[in-house]
Homo-oligomer: A and B are copies of this chain.
Amino acid sequence: MPTLSVFIDVPMIHKLEGSLLKTYKQDDYPDKLFLAYRVCMNNEGQPWVSVVVHKTRLKIAQDPSLNYEYLPMMGMKSFIQASLELLFGKHSQAIVENRVGGVHTVGDSGAFQLGAQFLKTWLKDAQVVCIISSQKEPHGLIFQDMGFTVYEYCIWDPKQLCTDSNMFLDVVEQIPRGCILVIGNIIDCKWTQSQLAKLMFTIKNKEIFPFFDIPCQGLSTGDLEEDAKILHHFVSQGFEFFCSQSLSKNFGIYDEGLGILVVATLNNQHLLCVLSQLMNHTRALWLNPPAMGARVITSILCNPALEGEWKQSLKGVVENIMLIKEKVKEKLRLLGTPGSWDHITQQTGTHGYLGLNQQVEYLIKKKHIYVPKSTRINFTCINASNIDYITQSINEAILFTKNSEKMLFPPEAYSLIGR
């Protein structure tokens, strides 16, 4: 008997993955390249995994004492504790005062989902979220789906070819009072003491709620403390905030849904209340987070020898990244490519802006090199086997395009992400 489907009005969603990745996948050019992968790659074009992670996974699999029970709702306590100490420093005053805590989440998307649900419920006046444009997907969309108005901002100056702390200060001046501000990696901005003071003053004055995103601690400068120092300033000044602390990239554990939502409050009493409400949300979201990634990281961070090895491996990755960038810069120079390429080595971390414009279209269409419109690429996607093709293509693109000025369209301070 013919039956009407209960799903008859459910339409297909076509835009699930980024359109750039989709187009790349559909391209059958054999030497195509995608330069915007999320993961930190090694020299063989595979996801980098710290050597100490491999060893630890094996050790865990052989451990007869593990009983594989459900983790509690807040997640693995030892993992949260170790991660907080990594983020704030083992002797952080905030940890001593018990006014920072965390909930183990399923990845950084889980942390943003959880944080957004809490803020929607408890910070009812905060209707607006401001997020850096490179994070529009997927994190901006989480807030948008939940009914927040989402603005994106950009702090890359296409003329100076650098991230500019003054641009960030302007953004903070302009965004609405009482909004939620997602603060990603602003370490390249080279903050002076007075700029930092001004930033914190404005945020406090305008009752802006900071939601930090720390996905690459240690992968910017190779120094874990240095990479988190802006956060340290905030916590030592008694700011309340959330932070999505992701340890996927700096350990090389991408597939285990690893994340933490960190909470900083004024005192322990507030912390306990907030954590209890967060756990009420996790109970409905996933009830018990996955253990594997957390186990690996806790094992490493709680073992001085392993921790030392891991820190060394991080420094090695950072050196490699700098080496790749130096080579790209050098090859462009040797090719006689117009313009300055210092900005490539001045940016730290896995990702950075190439500082191109309409050359992007040339790169994609003529050279099958897939670069986002912003030209913010993952430099670890570049390695010995493709660096010549990439640099030659950039050179070709620049010489070919009529306007040889490497200008992005003038960025608006912030713009509304379409609903």
Question: Residues on A close to B: CB < 8 A?
Answer: 3, 5-14, 16-17, 38-39, 46-47, 49, 57-58, 60-62, 67-71, 73, 106-107, 109-110, 113, 122-123, 138, 141-142, 145, 207, 209, 238, 240, 252-257, 265-267, 270, 272-274, 276-277, 279-280, 283-293
| Copies of this chain assembled into the complex | 2
Q: A5-B240, A291-B256, A292-B292 are in contact. Are A70 and B38 (CB under 8 A)?
A: yes
A354 to B270, CA, bound (A): 43
Which of chain B's residues have a CB closer than 8 A to the CB of A5? 240, 265-267, 270
Partner of A73, one of B16, B113, B274: B16
Asked whether, in the complex, the Cβ of B284 is within 8 Å of the Cβ of A141, the reply is: yes
Given contacts A46-B67, A255-B288, 5 further A-B contacts (CB under 8 A): A7-B122, A12-B273, A47-B69, A68-B254, A109-B283
Residue of B nearest to A58 (CB): B61
Contact partner, A142, options B68, B138, B279, B284, Cβ 8 Å? B284
Residues of the B chain whose Cβ atoms lie less than 8 Å from the Cβ of A293: 290
- Per the bound structure, the CA–CA distance linking A10 and B118 in Å amounts to 10
Residues of B with C-beta under 8 A to A238: 3
Given A283-B141, A290-B106; A255-B113 close (CB under 8 Å)? no
Which chain B residue has the least Cβ–Cβ distance from A239?
A: B3
Separation of A47 and B346 alpha carbons in the complex (Å):
53
Do A288 and B3 contact each other (CB < 8 Å), given the known contacts A12-B272, A13-B276, A70-B39? no
Q: Do residues A255 and B71 form an inter-chain contact, with CB atoms below 8 A?
A: yes
Chain B residue at minimal CB-CB distance from A122: B10
Q: Which residues of B contact A16 (CB under 8 A)?
A: 73, 276, 279-280, 283
Option from B67, B145, B267, B288 in Cβ contact (under 8 Å) with A257: B288
**Inside 8 A of A280's CB, which chain B residues have their CB?**
13, 16
Cβ-neighbour of A138 out of B253, B265, B283 (below 8 A): B283
Contact B7 A270 (CB under 8 A): yes
**A393 CA / B256 CA spacing, docked (Å):** 44
For residue A46, which residues in chain B have a CB less than 8 angstroms away from its CB?
Answer: 67
Interface of A is mostly: loop
User: What is the bound-complex CA distance between A8 and B266, given in angstroms?
Assistant: 10
B8 touching A109, Cβ below 8 Å: no
Bound form: Cα–Cα A416–B275 in Å = 29
Task: Select from chain B the residue with minimum beta-carbon distance to A144.
Answer: B284
Contact: B138 with A284, CB < 8 Å?
Answer: yes
Picked from B6, B9, B255, B267, the residue with its CB within 8 Å of the CB of A69 is: B255
- Chain B residues lying within 8 Å of A3, measured Cβ to Cβ, are 238, 266
A260 CB, min distance to chain B CBs, angstroms: 14
Task: Tell me which residues across on chain B come within 8 A of A283, comparing CB atoms.
Answer: 16, 109, 138, 141
Q: Which residues of B contact A290 (CB under 8 A)?
A: 106, 255-257, 290, 292-293
Inter-chain CA distance A38–B68, complex, in Å, is 13
Residues of B contacting A253 in the complex (Cβ-Cβ under 8 angstroms): 68
**Smallest distance from the beta carbon of A75 to chain B beta carbons, Å?**
10
Interfacial chain B residues near A255, Cβ < 8 Å: 68-71, 288, 290-292
A and B contact pairs by CB, cutoff 8 A, 12 listed: A5-B240, A11-B277, A12-B273, A16-B73, A39-B70, A47-B69, A110-B285, A138-B283, A255-B291, A255-B292, A257-B288, A292-B292
